[in-house]
Every structure is written in structure tokens, then in C-alpha cells.
Amino acid sequence: MKDTKESSLKLSDLFDELQETINKSPFNSPDNPEDGGDETNGAFRDGAAVSELFDMINSKNTDVPDFTGGEPDGRSRKSSPVESFMSRGREDIYRNEDVKETREEITKIRETEDFEISGVMDDSDDSGETDDIDLELLKAIGIGKASGYYPVGEKENDRTPGKKNPREAKERGKSRGDVSPAEKSKTRLTPIHQISNREYSGSGQVQELFASYRRVCRSEFAKFAVSLILFLILLYMETAPYIGFLPVPNVLNIDFYTLPYIYVNLQLLLIAAALNLKPLIYGALSAAKSNINVYSMSCLFFILAFAHTMLTLYMRDNGLGIALYNSTAVYAMLLSGLYNILDMNSEITSLKTISSKKLKYAVSLNSAVRAENSAYYSSPELETELFRDIFPSGAFSGGIFKTQFISNFFSRTNRNKTLGGSLKYFVYTALFAAAVLLAFYALFYQPHERNWYGFLSSAAVLLLGSLPLCSFITEVYPAFKAQKQARMSGAAFIGAESLRESAETKIISLYDNNIFPSEQVKISGIKVYGNNRIDSVLQNLCVIFDKLNMPPADTFKASTNFDGGFNQNIKISGIDDNGICYDANGQKLFLGTVEYISNMGLTPQYDANFDDPFVKSSGSIMILSSETEIIAKVYIKYEITSDFHDIIKNIKKINACLCIRTFDPNINDALISKLGNIKKYPIRVLKLKNPGDIQLAPERVDSPVVSRESVKSLVGAVSIAVRTRSIIKNNGLIRAVAFGCGIILAAALGFTGHLWGVNAGHLFLFQSFWMLPVILMQGVTN
């Protein structure tokens, strides 16, 4: 007993030391309780690691990690009390009867913290459970730095223990895919295929995600193939009795062996339902939440077919002709499987594009979805004002950026994935029409004339025939074709809403570097005046070009030995349309056009024999001066990229406008018009005045459309989105016409008493007929 008490006291002291170590860890700052390490490097929050620690201590697993092996680089170091405790072995721990009480005490402490493990992502390679636990425990006890894991772009001396970094916390929220409560309420409705329960955070997940997609796709193809076979059998069984030349086995003769016929037919329906159980359940749950989508229609068709089959089973003895419609229900299940396959294919294409190691081009929208990108696209209202005469009420603008990582992949692919739109109005209208038809039968038929089996069959046929099954492909098929078309140029759409968001973007905003890359900017000559040195002139030019990230920056850097520390003391005093005023190492300088310098009272020298021909050949002349003298004259030539004309042609096709954002005094509407002969295109140059609008390359962007190739590819994808949205709208009209024709035809047959003479073959032909315009519309529009 004495040994037990001593062991208990030592164990309690060790756990106190463990808790103190965690509290002092820079990964568990009290000022920043959410500071759990950057998830992109595989770190869990400290609470998760502590939980794993206790689970290991109390489990029977003898594979205890050894923390006494020294530093990762092989150097030995003194073991901490926590490490010594972990290396003792398990025997003394299990002999201690107070372990349970100690665990409960620490658990109470742990419960007071905010451990939201489900929101944390891991970008590590899940090669083994033990290795993952080792990493989490290392981070939990405060020696995570020894393993070299730091947030992306962070150095060791950048972290101050106990100090909150708002920018860092914001970036961690992005990598977790944190969204507002309104967005969370949308994404909690789990889609049919939940590929991952965590947000995409990096290339470490790609192999696992593609394996999951392949597994789901194989399953969907297998179910689709079996459902197709069942559908063909049912369609033959339910059509052959009404077509004299089609043979039917005697045992399935509907007139003589009614009971076997119904049982076999019902069995095939139930098998198909079992294969598609998840979509049917999801459809029922969605309908219960007033979200009638394609899965809800599939579920409704199954319920109607099953109920009608049971009705036929119990009313078959009245000598009336019977008909079953189970093939129509399986047809709906088959189309839901096709819907899944097309949707999954689009997601796989998106993942392939965003997981590319190349720098990607992405669009940041000035709407709710671009809130996280506001640090990199701070003034989209400038574009709105610039094109106010074209879009008086304003328009969405999309800024194009280069980025390494596309965030919120699963948030986008899951958002509004299965919304049905107008489907609920079709369902409610059809149900009301069926009720009216039954009321008509009950009121206008005499009791001896009433055939309730025929009446109920008519109501079922009205619902099965009027609700348009083309709804399953009116949106997903055009989206699939759009994704396929965009993929050919290296672009991809992300999520069901991406087409709408891209199509609504009426102002596409580029930075000047996208139109005039550094290789397209040439220095034709430099004239230095007075006692100024050429190397000092080049440094002063480099510093301002580099500071504002203007197109000539790389060109000037390449022409001189640019000193990166030269611009540390630069301060921009003012930016005008034609020039820039800045202080460089205590000297006030002005860089701009000839007109800008002339307005300051200085007179630049003019060489008519050289300057006139140079300007006429689309060259630009810049003047560098101080407050009292002209320092240098710079001759620069800009050339647009070969993709520029394709970009503006695509923009014109979609009735959008192109905005070129620039700080460069030389780049203006006149230069663009002279170089590109683009008077008939809606292109304008936006002169930036705020240094905060400088072009940046954000680490991550939340974007509906991405390209790993070029701006041309990205703008082409936006053009595809506009055309596809037009196709989807036309398909919506086709769907409405199909529903209207179905209701009218069913009502006409119902009120004349001929509706129960309709068989499954008629329903199949009617429903399939409306598929053709949807498919043909895609080819005609493209």
C-alpha cells in the first residue's frame, strides 16, 4: 500500500508538470485559445493531443512512444520530467489504482477548453496511426519546434510565445475552412457522398481523396449497371403484356398468374431500392426539411410505385385489368445514379486542377464568397465606379490573382449541391392535381360506377407521368459538359454554385502584369543628366517599380545589380494618373510622364529626331526628377501578350468588361488602344492611387473557377460558364413545358376515364422524350 501511495503522488506531480508544460507551450497561448498550430503542417490542437495521451496510457497497447531518443538531428539532450515519465514503461502505471481518478481530474480541465477537433485538418501523410500520435504528442508537450514544423512562411524567430497574431489566426481559420453560422447551416446537410469530413488543406490529402473518389465512383458504376439491368427487366415485364408480339414466360402471365407476376415485379423493385437506399433516405430527409431535390423525386416515385403495387396486390380479385409502374420508379433511381456519376466526375476534375503544384490563376469575387480575400482585393468598388455608365446599378467584379492554394474546396462542392429549385412547386402542383382528380371521381361517378382501383391508379399515373424526370439532367449534364470543356484548357469549376457566380461576374479585373509581363517590357534607352550617376538612377527606378510591383520592375532588376535593401526607407508621398512622388533614402523624387514633370515647373529636354519617332512607334517616355532638376529620361516599350486578343474576345462574347489595374504612369487607355486596336471592346485602365491596392500573390484564394495554365484559360472558363448558365435556363424552360404538358395530358385522359389504360411503356416514352431537347440543347449552344 505504501508503494501504491507513493506511486500515486508521483503520478499526480507528473501530470501537474505535464499540464504546466502545455500551458507554457507557444502552441497553447492563453491569449489565443484557438492557436493550435497550423493545420497545413499536420498539427492537432493541444487538447486533441492530451486526449490521445490519456487514451494511450489507459489502453492495453504496449507500443508506447519513446521520447528519450534526443533531438531529430541526432544530438542528445536532457530528458524532461514528462519524457522520463513516458519512458518508464507501463507496469508501474497499471499498478496504480489512482490512475482513473487522475484521468478524471485532467479530463475536467480539458473540458473547460475549446476543443473542436472536427474542424481541424491534417495535411500529413497518414502512413500509420502510431506515427501520427507521436507527432501530436511531441507538439502537445511543447517540443514540436524540434521536429521543424512551422506554419507556412513562418520562421522560428517570428513566433512569440503567448502573443496573439491576428493575421496568423485568420489564416488558420481559412485552412480549417471556417465559415459563418449561415454557411455552416447550409453545409451541415450532408451530401450523398461525403468524401471527407475535413476541409482540403494540401497535397498530403490528395492520394487519400483520390482513392475515396475512385471507391465511390466504382460503387456508383456498379449500382448503375445493376439498376439498368433491373430497369430493363421491369420495363419488359410491364410493357410486354400490352404488346402482342413480345413473348412472356407463362409463369409471369399477368392474366393467369397475377400473384407471381406481382411478387416478382415487387421483388425487383425492392432490390433496386436496396441498391439505392442511401439516395432514397437522403431524398426523404430532404423532403422533410422542405428541400425537394432530385433525390426527393426518386424517393417519391419509389413510394408511389410501391404503394400502387400493394394496392394492386390486394385489389386484383375484382377482375379488372391491372398495370404496374415499378419500372418508372427504377428509371428515376437510375437517373439519380447518373446524376451522382456526372457530379463526382466534375469534382474529381476540380480536385486534379487545384492539387496541381503549379501556380494557379483564380478569381476573387466582390461578393460574400470573397470575404476572406479582402486583404488582397481591397477595392473592388473602384471597378464598379469605373464602369458605372455601363452598369448603372453596379455589377459583380472579379479580380484575377496568382495563388498557390485554393481554399474551401469541400465547402464549395458541398454548398447547395442538391437544391431542387422549382421542383417543389412541380411536386405540390402535381399532388394537388391528383387530389382534384380523385375528388372529381368521387363526386361525379355513381356508387355502382366507381372503380377505386382505376381511380387510384389514375392518380398514380398522373404523378408518375407529369413530374419531369428530365430534371435529373437539366443542370448536372450541362455542368458536366462545361467542366469537360474547361478541363481541355487547364481550368476547372469548383462546386455547384461556381457556374452561377462566374456567369454573374460582369467586370473582370486584371493587373498590368497580366497584360504586360516583364519579358514584354523593353528598355530602349536611358539618358542621365547633370552629375547624377547611372547606377544611382537605376536603383531609384528599380525601387519604385519594385515597391508598386509595376511591369518594368523585373526588366530594370535584370539590367542592374539591384540592392534589395535599397528600398527599405522608401516612402510614397502621392500617386497621380501620370506620375508618382516618393522619398528614397531621404531624397524626394518624381517619376512620371513629360506632362507630369512639366506641371511641376521643370522643363524636360526634348529631342525631336528621336523622341517623336519613338512615341509614334508606341514607345513611352518617363522622366525621373528631383524637386529642382531633371535626373534622367527613360525610354520604355510595352508589348501586349499574344493571349490578349483571345481574352478580350471572350470578354466581349459574355457582355462583360475588362479592367486593367495599374500604378504605371505610362499605361493608359491610349496605350492599350494603340497596341491592341481595341476601340470596339469595353476595356478601361484603372489608375490606382492607394499603395494598399498593390498586386499581391495571396497564399490562398476562395474561387469558383481556377486555371493552372493562364489568364486566357481562366477567362475562357468564365465564358463557358456564361454559355452554360444560358443552357441551364433553357433547360429549365424545357422542364416547365414538360411538366405542363404532362399535367394537361394526364388531366385530359383522367377526366375522360382513359388514364388507367396507360402502361409503363407509355410513361417511359413520354419521360424520355423530354430528355432529348435537354441533350440536344447542349450541342446546339456549344
What CA–CA distances, in Å, run from 692 to 170, 548, 618?
Answer: 19, 9, 30
What CA–CA distances, in Å, run from 352 to 206, 341, 648?
Answer: 9, 17, 28
CA separation for the pair 583, 303 (Å, rounded): 77
Q: What is the pLDDT of residue 590?
A: 92
Handedness of CA 606, 610, 612, 617 (dihedral sign): negative
CA separation for the pair 568, 582 (Å, rounded): 13
Of residues 600, 650, 657, the one with CA closest to residue 625? 600
Of residues 619, 765, 593, 764, the one with CA closest to residue 687? 593
Of residues 597, 599, 624, 621, the one with CA closest to residue 608? 621
CA separation for the pair 100, 110 (Å, rounded): 15
Bridge partners of 322? none
Run of H or E residues at 516: none
Instruction: Please name the amino acid found at residue 706.
Output: V
Of residues 145, 92, 117, 146, the one with CA closest to residue 39? 117
Block residue for cell numbers 507521436: 134
CA separation for the pair 620, 637 (Å, rounded): 6
What CA–CA distances, in Å, run from 759 to 31, 176, 243, 372, 721?
Answer: 71, 53, 11, 56, 40
List alpha helices for 141-205, DSSP H. 166-176, 181-187
Of residues 592, 574, 583, 586, the one with CA closest to residue 633? 592
The SS3 assignment for 525 reads: strand
Q: What is the pLDDT of residue 627?
A: 87
CA separation for the pair 277, 3 (Å, rounded): 59
How far is it between the farthest Cα atoms of the chain? 117
Could you say which residues of the chain have pLDDT below 70? Answer: 1-191, 316-320, 366-380, 446, 448-450, 562-568, 677, 779-782
Of residues 368, 354, 377, the one with CA closest to residue 697? 377
- The angle that helices 476-487 and 711-751 make with each other, rounded to 10 degrees, is 160
Of residues 572, 135, 175, 244, the one with CA closest to residue 411? 175
Angle at 355 between CA 27 and CA 501, to 5 degrees: 100
Block residue for cell numbers 410501391: 306
Query: Judging by DSSP bridges, how do beta strands 360-365 and 396-403 pair with one another?
Result: antiparallel
Of residues 491, 482, 395, the one with CA closest to residue 711? 491
Block residue for cell numbers 498586386: 695
Range list of β-strands (E), 292-377: 360-365
The SS3 assignment for 626 reads: coil
CA separation for the pair 307, 326 (Å, rounded): 10
How many other CB atoms are there within 10 angstroms of residue 108's CB atom? Answer: 9
Run of H or E residues at 396: strand 396-403
CB 479 within 8 A of CB 320: no
Q: Phi-psi bin for 532: left (phi > 0), alpha (psi -120 to 50), beta?
A: beta
CB 383 within 8 A of CB 509: yes
Of residues 370, 422, 420, 421, the one with CA closest to residue 399? 370
End-to-end CA distance of the chain: give it in Å, rounded.
Answer: 85
Run of H or E residues at 188: none
Residues with Cβ within 8 Å of residue 713, at least 6 apart in sequence: 361, 489, 490, 491, 707
Run of H or E residues at 118: none
- The angle that helices 277-288 and 294-315 make with each other, rounded to 10 degrees, is 100
CB 426 within 8 A of CB 740: no
CB 240 within 8 A of CB 323: no
Of residues 605, 643, 706, the one with CA closest to residue 200? 706
